Each structure stands twice: as C-alpha cells, then as structure tokens.
Structure 1
C-alpha cells in the first residue's frame, strides 16, 4: 500500500471513530508500527491529525465528541462478539449494573431472555430494549443527557445510597498504554464510578478501537477490573501485567 493510500485510510478511520491506536492502524494497514508512527508524524505536520501517546485523534475529535449514533454504528461486529461473550457471565438471579455505552446496548440485547435477572442501568436505550422482556429493570433516574443516559447528582446519589450489584458491565472512552481506563465525559464517568464502588465483580468491555485512545478523566485502572473482554489480542508483556494483578481476559 502506497503512503498516500495509508494516509487516506488513516483519515477514514479517524473520521469514523475519532481516534485510533498505532497497534490497530498497524494491523489494518499491514505495516509495522514504526511505519505508522512515521505516517502520523508527517500527517500531524500537515495539520491532518493530532498525535497522542499510542495513537492519534482527529482534529474534530478534540473539540466535539462523536455522536451516540456514530459510535453505535462503529465496530458493530466486534461489539456484538464482545456482548455475546459477556452474556455468558450473566446468570439467572444476578443483579447487574449496565452502563450507557453503546457496547452495553448490545449486551442488553443478548440477555433479554434470562429469567429472574435484575438490570440496573442509566441508559434509556437499554431500559427501552428490556421493557418488554422478562428482565427486571431498575432505572437510576436523574437528568437525561443528549446521549440518552441519566446522569447528574440524582443518578449518582441513587446508586451510592440504594443500589448494589454482584456484577458490573461497562465500557469507556479509551484504554491507555499504561493500563488506565479513561473517560471524556465527566457526568458519565461519575455515574460509572458510583456503579464501580457498589459492584462486586467488574467487567470491562473494550473493542480494539479503544486501545490507545485518549480521555482526560481517569475512570479506573485495569488493576481494579476483574475481567477484560475484548476482540484484541494482548501481548505477552500486557498479559503478564494483567495476570500479576489478577485481571482475567477473554479475547473474542
């Protein structure tokens, strides 16, 4: 693939997803990570993107978040595979937190026929999806955001004081190279953190587009997560780190 073709493909991926990790670009483009880094350096000098630690973001991404609908349509097949694997960890009589991420919606679709299941969520889309199922749904309430999620002080206090779950399933803005799980929306992050505090076992649902992706809010770190379910293969060093900290992985 010629350099100009690689650059166009990189721009397409950034337009679709807002950001991309060097490792993902290397895999998609079929070139070494060093070649990708040289491409990103040149493209940044041309004002086409902004480099980050571990990848790049689109110029537009620095000023505005991707809309929910755009994110919903991105990496659909990968999110469905992740959701199917995550659903295998949910059993009758479980009480689970599900956040308002797009991946969580696909998970809700996989578990709607599980009997005697209770789902606690701040996602209006998940509530709507499960409303005609046999699942007991508990909404946290609060202010309805543009993304169709309940956030704010009411939502946070509701979870903090009244709601507990034996499992939590969540996604995030990005998964940094130093194993930090990052968010870019403070209101969403605050609700997720309350769920995190009141859940026994935590499952991070992370498609490959999130690796190396930036976010200015630390949600948590991989050390505090019990399972990471992803469509990306971890390196030996990454796996050794996760094993050392007791974080299990499922690669789909």
Structure 2
C-alpha cells in the first residue's frame, strides 16, 4: 500500500473513532511502527491531525455560530420536521418552557390554538406565539443578547425558580458523550435552569448536532428524557442514549 493510501485510511479511521494509536495503525495497515510514525508526521505537516502521546486525534473544527436570523435559514426543512414532532407532544393545559433556539421556534410555529402556558426567554418565540389563541405567554425579563435574541442573566434564572412545568423544550449546538453543549455560556446557564424546573426535558437537535461538542456543557445526557432528531443516529450513539435512559424520536 502506498503512503497516500495509508494516509487516507488513517483519516477515515479517525473520522469514525476520533483517535488512533501507533499500534492500531500497525495492526490496521500491516506496517512497522517506524512507518506508522512517518505517516503521522506527514499528516501533522499537512495540518490534518494533532499528534498525541502514542498516536493522533483530529483537530477541533470550530464552526462559526451565525446570528439568530442566519440560523433560521440553516437546515430549515429538518428543523421544520423536528418542530412539528415536538409540537404534537404538547397537550391542552400543559405548562411548558421554550428556550431560545431556532429549532424550538419551529415548534412554536407548529403549535395550534390551544389552552396552555408557555414560558420563554426568547423574544422571537413570544412573537410567534402571540398569534395563538388560548396560549398564555410568560416572557422572562433580563438582559437582551441582541445578536441571538434571547434574554439572560440573574433575573431570568431567579424567575425560572418560581416555575414548575410539565415539559421543557431545549435546543443544542452539540449533543455527544460529553452531554449537551452550546457556544454561549450565558445561554447555557439559562438552559441549565430550565432543565431543573421541568418534569420532562425534550431536546431538539437536527442530525448535524449529533456527535458534536461545543464550548459550554450545560447538561449531561442523563438530564434529558427525550431527543427528537431528523435522522436515525448510528448504533453507537443509540447505545449511548440507551445507557443514559434517553428516549429517541426520529421525526418524519
């Protein structure tokens, strides 16, 4: 096998398994330890890997977090499917907290006229729900994050302490073995409090968020009861959900 073929095989392995050791390269590609190390040096020179003691990992890919309006236009079909499935779970008389994610906004857009109470820190969610007959809206007051259009701070968290709700709907930037993560700590602190106030925690995440880890962890996988997504995750992630008692709903 030529070196370029080996390099491709190493990268493919890393994409699936996240890390690789020199011994694993030797076993996988039937090469000596010196050859395996030379292959890792070549990949490091290209910026394709980060060397670790005894092997390598893939470099972290930090995607730009777009503003709220920009995120509304990303994978809108998937978010629409997930939002419709989430809206179908809300019942007459429910008390529900909506966080400030665009996927949860898709749920708000599918919510029919019904008697229920929605608590939210999102000015967009409040606006969408204001046209729904029977929906009682509680908008949490705090400091406005202008770019992402959510309210946060001590006053939001303090007010949330007063509520005990049937369901909480939260969006994620990443959901992985590291739990639920997001880019902004101030938003994550609000989400953490939302989770603690709900009987049932429902996380909404399109397929691009699964297996991804972002900057701030605001919940463990075991903190959520149900994950709604648009594609069936791989077997490894399904086993991870089972281990933490998380139900899975794939929107269609």
Q: Is this a same-fold pair by TM over 0.5?
A: yes
Largest Rg, 1 or 2: 2
Q: Which runs of 4+ in 1 moved over 6 A?
A: 41-44, 47-50
Q: 2:154: which partner in 1?
A: 153
DSSP-derived class of the 1:57 partner: coil
Q: 1:174: which partner in 2?
A: 174
Q: 2:107: which partner in 1?
A: 107
Question: Structure 1 residues 74 and 55, CA, compared in 2 at 3 Å: closer, same or farther?
Answer: farther
Q: 2:228: which partner in 1?
A: 229
Question: Structure 1 residues 225 and 97, CA, compared in 2 at 3 Å: closer, same or farther?
Answer: same
How do 1:124-163 and structure 2 match up within 5 A? Answer: 124-134=123-133, 135-146=135-146, 147-160=148-161, 162-163=162-163
Greater Cα shift, 234-243 or 211-220: 234-243
TM-score (norm 2): 0.74
Question: Structure 1 residues 183 and 43, CA, compared in 2 at 3 Å: closer, same or farther?
Answer: farther
Question: Structure 1 residues 173 and 241, CA, compared in 2 at 3 Å: closer, same or farther?
Answer: closer
TM-score (norm 1): 0.74
Question: Structure 1 residues 200 and 45, CA, compared in 2 at 3 Å: closer, same or farther?
Answer: farther
How do 1:18-57 and structure 2 match up within 5 A? Answer: 57=61
Does the alignment pair 1:67 with 2:67?
A: yes
Q: Does the 8 A contact of 2:195 with 2:201 survive in 1? A: yes
Question: Structure 1 residues 240 and 73, CA, compared in 2 at 3 Å: closer, same or farther?
Answer: same
Q: 2:164: which partner in 1?
A: 164
Which whole-Å CA distance do the structure 1 matches of 2:45 and 2:220 have between them?
32
Shift of 1:181: 0.9
Shift of 1:219: 1.2
Q: Does the 8 A contact of 1:141 with 1:154 survive in 2? A: yes
Q: Does the 8 A contact of 1:55 with 1:213 survive in 2? A: no
Shift of 1:76: 0.4
Structure 2: 5+ residue stretches without partners = 1-14, 17-40, 51-56
DSSP-derived class of the 2:61 partner: strand
Q: Does the 8 A contact of 1:55 with 1:212 survive in 2? A: no
Which whole-Å CA distance do the structure 1 matches of 2:66 and 2:244 have between them?
33
Q: Does the 8 A contact of 1:186 with 1:217 survive in 2? A: yes
Which whole-Å CA distance do the structure 2 matches of 1:71 and 1:54 have between them?
26
How do 1:164-243 and structure 2 match up within 5 A? Answer: 164-176=164-176, 178-243=177-242
Structure 1: 5+ residue stretches without partners = 1-21, 24-40
Supply the RMSD in Å over aligned alpha carbons.
3.0
Which whole-Å CA distance do the structure 1 matches of 2:236 and 2:141 have between them?
42
Q: How many residues align?
A: 210
Shift of 1:49: 11
For residues 86-105 of structure 1, give each alpha carbon's deviation from its aligned partner in whole angstroms, at most 9, with x where no partner exists.
Answer: 11211110010100001011
* Relative contact order, higher structure (CA 8 A, sep 6+): 1
Q: 1:32: which partner in 2?
A: none
